Chain A
Amino acid sequence: MDDIDRRTLLKLTGGVGLAGLAGCVSTTDEGDGGDGGSDGGSDGGDGGDGGSDDGDGSDGGSDGGDSTATETAGGGDGGSGPYEIGMVDSLTGSLSAFGERNQRGKELALETVNEVGIDGRELAINVEDSGSENQGGISAAQKLVNQDGVPFLIGSVGSGVSLAIYESVVQDTDVVQLSQNSTGLGLTDFPGLLRMSPTGRTQSTALSNIIADDGYDTVAVTYVNNNYGQSLADAFVEAWDGEVAYNQPHDQDQQSYSGVVSEMNSSGADAWLFVTYQAEFATMVNEIYSSGYEAQLYGADSVSGDDVLSNTPEGSMDGMKIVVPSAPVEQDNYTEFATRFEEEFGDSPTSWSAYAYDCVVNAALAIQAADEFTGAALQETVREVSRPEGEKVTTYEAAHDILADGGGPSDVDYQGVSGPIDFDENGDPVGFLQILTVENHDYTGTGFIES
């Protein structure tokens, strides 16, 4: 009797374990996206300044959908009601911190757009939750594209989720998909999938240059065990000329990383590079501190944020250098955005809010410039309205006026609050990076790098 119980329990436990593992896998995917997202999580993290990245590329998605089979005519088409577009966001799940920032950026952008209107009509955004999971993202996108019939889809945060949505929902339609926060390297291979946040490869290259310039020839690297971490770490190793003494992944959501830091310490390298997320990195910093290790720390954008600052001891990271996608903070439209953001939410924005903001504005301009409210028409305009060879404008209103006065999509070059946008042929924006150095337990901008 007892025995049977135990066996049953074992089986069940195994089952749950498997389920848990499955969960991990999908988490990983999200994770990818998360990279970008990770900053997002911490609004203040970037210190406002750092936080604002410029994503160059808000427009670009034209390649994406070849096929015109799906009906994408949105609710707004032809009518006088609002133009309805869709957004898949991580409202819950592991990337919910980014999702929250995205929603704030989206709200501000909607306000901006609807104050002026799109040729007299309003913009409405149906937001669906991905749960930060691939499957959740796909169902959300299916609902938006197939039931609501939106021709323009903003989504999503995690690179894995964005790709999953693109491959299973968007690819064979002419719906425009514009990811707000995905920085995974793999997205470059899908020109139809646009994104507002620059690819992570720019970071890897920049980091290898910085570490080499600081005079180190041996480095220890640890990365989060998912597509995001692996791709960034691989790109780093590719770009790095010196010796890599340690290069190992670590799993997300572990309750202890003392093994990782002690191995990095035994590797003998003096420069340690972390490609992981805030919670994991905060744990590692605590373990580095409580173990008394001394090393020069470097990190990808996803390790910076309020979460890390508030959860690590003072002075535990001083001198650490982090590369984050960033807008030049002195840019007027960004400071205006930041002021409004702070008034509204009592928090300084991060780049991740700025990307979401630009996604919405770029979408509104694409809609205005298009002849009709269909995916096919939007494919033609979405890249053009923020690409050069038009008049450079920094606000939605100015761009709207050019289009309202009879200007075509290529007469406008919208400069986003997250950067110049300028989607390239792969749907990636121009990368612009800021170097943050931890001083007095806070992030200080110490320079910019263009990708």
Chain B
Amino acid sequence: MVLLDHIASGLIYSSIIVLGSIGLSLIYSIADFANFAHGDTMTIGAYSSFVAFGAVGGLGGAVLGLPLGFFVALLAGIAVAAVVAVLTEKVVYEGMDLDSIGMLITSIGIAFVYRAVVQMWFGADAVRYDIQALRPIDWLLPYGIRVTQHDVAIVVSAAVLVTGLHVLLQYSDLGRKMRAMADNPDLARVSGIRTDRIKLWTWVIGAGLAGAGGVFLGLYNLLTPRMGFDLLLLIFAAVILGGIGSVYGAMAGALLIGMIHELTPLLSQLGRVLPFLPESFGLPIGNQYGSAIAFVIMVVVLLFRPQGIAGEAV
């Protein structure tokens, strides 16, 4: 019973992390640096959709407890995040003649800029979407699962976006070129692929997914200028665990990290979950150590599989 509830919340949290980690991994494999501004790109997506939702309103109708206007706002959030990322690439990253470490540090600076702009605009206080909060879904309560329709919407939307990306990568021309470029940029360029254009598309897709992740994070929780940055460390853990540069690895890693993070409370009540143990049995590890445990597991996996879950062995 307790287990199901924790798995459900793990799934929801994972969905958000997945959306963030795919973009990070994509950009790493194609633009060739770890983008520390990725978390704040999520924040930008969230706040953009907050503004858009304020402007368009609910628009009537409702899907899974969310007015149609919210989905319009979601698209706006995705679009703005993508535009901001492309502009940043054009203005800042593209002209930088730095190695990947230099780019990484630059992106940390960009992260601060993003966050500062959001904070100047919206202040440091939290805001939330003007959407009626929901109570848990009734028919799931007997199973001990306490999720709202909004939570379901987050998981479903993330699944749709991830499936869309999968189709794009596997079956479209752009996807093939992206994979070619990720494998070997020089070879891709000699074979006639316009790599700079592919790079821009990568930014659009990666930042767009991050924007969507930000919107759902805002729906799941509240919008604060630090929201994306606070999640970034977990996203990095997911990406590295999955095998940096691998999109499918990032998905697997995100699922694992999100689950571990949300399942941590079970450690202190193991007796209730596992058979053959006294009811009161539990490890004295509180849930405030969720992130630490997620990282410990990441380290353990990497010790045995240094290339990550889906990374290619060297």
Seen from chain A, the residues whose Cβ lies within 8 Å of a Cβ on chain B are 2-3, 5-6, 8-10, 12-13, 16-17, 20, 41-42, 94, 96-97, 225, 248-251, 253-256, 258-260, 262-263, 266, 278-279, 282-283, 286, 289-293, 306-307, 310-313, 316
CB distance A286 to B133 under 8 Å? yes
Report B100-136 residues with CB < 8 Å from chain A CB.
100-101, 104, 108, 123-128, 132-136
For this complex, 6 residue pairs linking A to B, each with C-beta atoms less than 8 Å apart, are A9-B240, A258-B262, A262-B9, A263-B269, A266-B272, A310-B127
Residues of A with C-beta under 8 A to B236: 13, 17
CB distance B268 to A263 under 8 Å? yes
CB distance B135 to A262 under 8 Å? no
Asked if B196 lies at the interface with its beta carbon under 8 angstroms from chain A, I say no
Q: Which residue of B lies closest to A2 (CB)?
A: B314
Cα separation A8 to B32 with both chains bound (whole Å)? 13
* Known A-B contacts A3-B314, A97-B125; A12 and B287 likewise in contact (beta carbons under 8 Å): no
* Known A-B contacts A262-B6, A263-B268; A290 and B287 likewise in contact (beta carbons under 8 Å): no
Cα separation A306 to B125 with both chains bound (whole Å)? 9
The 5 closest A-B pairs by CB, nearest first: A313-B133, A259-B287, A291-B146, A259-B265, A292-B136
Select one of A9, A260, A283 contacting B244, CB under 8 A: A9
Q: Is the interface of B mostly helix, strand, loop or mixed?
A: helix
CB distance A290 to B224 under 8 Å? no
Q: Select the residue from B133, B150, B236 with max chain A CB neighbours within 10 A.
A: B133
Q: Is the interface of A mostly helix, strand, loop or mixed?
A: helix
Select one of B13, B261, B287 contacting A260, CB under 8 A: B287
CB distance A290 to B136 under 8 Å? yes
Residues of A with C-beta under 8 A to B100: 5, 8-9
* Known A-B contacts A250-B287, A290-B136; A17 and B222 likewise in contact (beta carbons under 8 Å): no
Chain B nearest Cβ from A95, distance in angstroms: 9
Q: Which residue of A lies closest to B32 (CB)?
A: A5
Residues of B with C-beta under 8 A to A251: 288, 291
CB distance A278 to B126 under 8 Å? yes
CB distance A248 to B287 under 8 Å? yes
* Known A-B contacts A253-B230, A307-B125, A313-B132; A283 and B222 likewise in contact (beta carbons under 8 Å): yes
Chain B nearest Cβ from A367, distance in angstroms: 33
Residues of A with C-beta under 8 A to B295: 17
CB distance B221 to A256 under 8 Å? yes
Cα separation A253 to B224 with both chains bound (whole Å)? 9
Chain B nearest Cβ from A40, distance in angstroms: 12
Residues of B with C-beta under 8 A to A41: 125
Cα separation A307 to B222 with both chains bound (whole Å)? 10
CB distance A283 to B34 under 8 Å? no
Binary flags per residue of B37-74, CB closer than 8 Å to A gives 1, else 0:
00000000000000000000000000000000000000
Residues of B with C-beta under 8 A to A289: 133, 135
Binary flags per residue of B254-293, CB closer than 8 Å to A gives 1, else 0:
0000000110110011001000000000000011101100
Cα separation A8 to B100 with both chains bound (whole Å)? 10
CB distance B125 to A283 under 8 Å? no
Residues of A with C-beta under 8 A to B226: 253
Residues of A with C-beta under 8 A to B5: 262
Cα separation A16 to B230 with both chains bound (whole Å)? 12
Asked if B83 lies at the interface with its beta carbon under 8 angstroms from chain A, I say no
Cα separation A97 to B132 with both chains bound (whole Å)? 26
Select one of B36, B261, B306 contacting A16, CB under 8 A: B36
Residues of B with C-beta under 8 A to A6: 240, 244, 306-307, 311
Residues of B with C-beta under 8 A to A10: 240, 302
* Known A-B contacts A253-B226, A316-B133; A290 and B126 likewise in contact (beta carbons under 8 Å): no
Cα separation A96 to B224 with both chains bound (whole Å)? 13
Asked if B220 lies at the interface with its beta carbon under 8 angstroms from chain A, I say yes
